[in-house]
Chains A and B, each alone.
Chain A
Amino acid sequence: MTSKPLLLGVRAILALAVLACLAGPWLFDANSLTVLTEFFIVVTLALMWNLLAGYADIISVGQQGFVGVGAYAFFGFTALAHLSVWAAVPLAALTTLAVAVPVMAVIFRLRTAYLAVGTWVAADVLMLIAGKLPGFGGGSGTSVPIPVIKQFGARLGDRIDVFYAMALGLALIAFVATWMLLRSRVGLGLTAMRDNEEAAGSAGVDLVRTRILCFLWTAPFLGLAGVMTALEKLRVAPSASFNITDWTIDVIFIVVIGGIGSLEGPILGAILFFVLRQQLADFGAWYLILLGLISIGVILFEPRGFWGACRRWGAPDILPVGHEAEAHVLKR
């Protein structure tokens, strides 16, 4: 047991940070809001990748596929089908889920390492198909029409606020929903799978069903993150919307370095990543080389990442996903 005051202190800081984020449009300038919008998208992606890799034993190298589907679906519903943007956002999430079902049915014939490469093949297929769709600008992509953008606010400043609020809302919902999933009956099985899959299976956890649930769980969130990327870039294109570096490679580094298999890890990792990227912006490819080296070092020497190291030094379980039994100590 760690000290209660420390735990309360850390949670108070966390609550203040969330409050500051909620009050963001009144506290920060447009530039910071744009960076934070990007941060919330990346946090969402990191939470989803961590749920799969850290708990369900599905290592996805194809997360960018569903991000791209979300972006393209949003473009299709607004620019081509002329629906309201507020109808298009949930429809994009549903479309991503609908695409995820057949993808899952095919690639789940592969297991472990094979499945990892299978997700990559699936994402590549989705990207190539997106480049073939009529009306979406082919291989070079196309801009989101101005009337669609204007629905989010007539002035640029208003739109920045709206996009910020949407990204924050997405990250918060993704976080709370995943936390609740991990605290549920399914989550108990997932935590058992994280710690020892064979033992979890023999203790009655339905591994296949849990994996299917997790894989489909991530799809709508990835699709919504995709909608946000389309709004942020104001265009859809196969190379940008399905970008493996931005939506998967960076995310893998974030989760591995921050701490795989915990809820705190991906968030810590995302903060570290944004700080590091700001510092190393001028070094081009070197920053990815550095991230690669750090993550290999982390896997070899501290497999639970930065958060795992913090826990060993006595950091409290800030966001407990387990259920702690009340300890009643009898005084003699």
Chain B
Amino acid sequence: MVETLVNLLVQGVLIGGLYALFALGLSLSLGVMRFVNIAHGDMIVLFSFVILSLTGVLGWSPFLVAIVLIPVAFGIGWLLQRYLLQRTVGKGILPILLVTFGLSIIIQNGLLEAYGPNTRKLSGGAIELAAFRVGPIDIGLYPLLVFLLAVALIAGLDAFLYRTAVGARIRAVSDDPAAADLIGLTASRIYPIAMGVVAITMLVAACCMSVWTNFDPAIGPSRLLAAFEAVVLGGLGSLWGTLIGGIIIGVAQNFGSQLDASWQILAQHLVFLVALVFRPQGLFARN
């Protein structure tokens, strides 16, 4: 009994790494640019399908494809912010929500037309099946590596935001766009860089997801909701909080999934709503 519970907990924590990867980009766009990208989950799914197509054409491993795509992802994020989302800045929250909402519907239905409704999965090779035992618990090598990647990415992003010159500029614009503008830091030049970084985290999440689990054109929204809950649970503006939020979501899902598939999602939502009632500012809110 105790063994089963510990096992569920450990596997849930590892899945939490994947959810943290989903949530990282959303945490950045919320913390820095202060908007919710409704198309966040759909963009991750879009990257998964791009990786799927390229692995098919080139015959490479999905991990190699993802590494090669990093500059492309940055470019997509940059262009998206520079030429679409930036047009809505300063007009309140409604326009940007509705633009990303429209984008979400376009991506979902575009993928549906291009790839059909079937579920897909990518093969990561031998690493997917590798596992080792710690006492009574089997730990998959791949989930562990994804978790460590999430930790490394958060550490990297934290260092990028708080220790580099570009990071300082991004934070300056985020804290006070008007004052930053006076010293030559315009939002229209800085935010696209931030969105490029967000898109790279989406690519990493897409790659890890498409090897770990099934995906189809319609799952974007459920990824968005999980990512959103992880961000709010963790506390706004805290990347490490987002990791903890992801872990809580992963554990809740894993315990819920013992009952059935809908309890998996219901448990996730209920943990989020209960946390919202008792700690609306999140666990590790940074002012």
A residues contacting B by CB (< 8 A) are 53, 57, 59, 61, 106-107, 109-110, 112-114, 116-118, 120-122, 124-125, 128-129, 131-132, 139, 244, 249, 252, 256, 260, 284-286, 288-289, 291-293, 295-296, 299-300, 303
- Is A252 a contact of B101 with CB atoms below 8 Å? yes
Known: A114-B232, A120-B225, A125-B269. A292 touches B93 (CB 8 A): no
Contact A117-B224, Cβ < 8 Å, known A57-B94, A129-B266, A139-B262: yes
Residues of B within 8 A of A113 (CB): 30, 35-36, 93, 96-97
* B contact residues around A295 at 8 Å (CB): 98, 102
Q: Is the CB of B272 within 8 A of A121?
A: yes
Count A-B contacts at CB 8 Å.
111
Q: B80 → chain A, closest Cβ, in Å?
A: 12
Residues of B contacting A128 in the complex (Cβ-Cβ under 8 angstroms): 262, 265-266, 269
Query: Which of chain A's residues has its CB closest to B109's CB?
Result: A285
Q: Do A303 and B105 contact each other (CB < 8 Å), given the known contacts A117-B228, A124-B265, A132-B262?
A: no
A212 to chain B, nearest CB (A): 16
| Complex Cα–Cα for A60 and B12 (A) | 31
Q: How far is the CA of A123 from the CA of B93 in the complex (A)?
A: 21
- The interface residues of chain B, by DSSP majority, are classed as helix
Residue B229 interfacial (CB < 8 Å): yes
Supplied contacts A285-B113, A299-B98, 18 more A-B pairs, CB within 8 Å: A59-B97, A117-B224, A118-B276, A121-B272, A124-B225, A125-B270, A128-B262, A128-B265, A128-B266, A285-B112, A288-B106, A289-B105, A289-B106, A293-B106, A295-B102, A299-B88, A299-B95, A303-B95
CB distance from B116 to the nearest CB of A (A): 10
Q: Which of A109, A122, A299 contacts B280 (CB 8 A)?
A: A109
Question: Which of B36, B103, B232, B266 touches A116 (beta carbons < 8 Å)?
Answer: B36
Query: Contact size class for B?
Result: 35 or more
B133 lies within 8 A of chain A by Cβ: no
Report B's interface with A, CB cutoff 8 A.
30, 35-36, 38, 84, 87-88, 91, 93-99, 101-103, 105-106, 109-110, 112-113, 221, 224-225, 228-229, 232, 262, 265-266, 269-270, 272-273, 276-277, 280
- Tell whether, in the assembled complex, residue B276 and residue A110 are in contact, meaning their CB atoms are under 8 Å apart: yes
Residues of A within 8 A of B229 (CB): 121
- Cross-chain contact of A249 among B30, B91, B105, B232 (Cβ < 8 A): B105
Residue of B nearest to A287 (CB): B109
Q: How far is the CB of B94 from chain A (nearest CB, A)?
A: 6
Smallest distance from the beta carbon of A207 to chain B beta carbons, Å? Answer: 14
CB < 8 Å: which of A61, A121, A293 contacts B273? A121
A300 contacts B94, C-beta separation under 8 Å: no
Q: Which chain A residues border B272 with CB–CB below 8 Å?
A: 121
A146 → B minimal CB distance (Å): 29
A117–chain B nearest beta-carbon distance, Å: 5
Task: Assess the A125–B93 pair: CB atoms within 8 A.
Answer: no
**A293 contact set on B, CB distance < 8 A:** 102, 106
Contacts of A116 in B (CB 8 A): 36, 38, 97
- Let me know if B87 and A124 touch, CB within 8 A: no
Q: Smallest Cβ distance from A131 to chain B, in angstroms?
A: 6
B44 to chain A, nearest CB (A): 16
Chain B residues with CB under 8 Å of A124's CB are 225, 265, 269
- Which residues of chain B are near A131, meaning CB under 8 Å? 262
Q: Contact between B105 and A288 (Cβ–Cβ < 8 Å)?
A: yes
Task: Judge whether A59 and B93 touch: CB under 8 Å.
Answer: yes
Most chain B beta-carbon neighbours within 10 Å: one of A61, A288, A299: A299
What is the bound-complex CA distance between A116 and B40, given in angstroms? 14
How many angstroms between the C-alpha atoms of A249 and B36 in the bound complex?
Answer: 17
10 contacts between A and B (CB under 8 A): A57-B94, A61-B101, A116-B36, A116-B97, A117-B36, A121-B229, A121-B272, A121-B273, A292-B103, A296-B102
Complex contact A110–B232 (CB within 8 A) = yes
A112 touches B93 (CB 8 A): yes
Name the B residues within 8 Å of A244 (CB-CB): 221
Counting chain A CB atoms within 10 Å of each CB, which of B109, B225, B270, B277 scores highest? Answer: B109
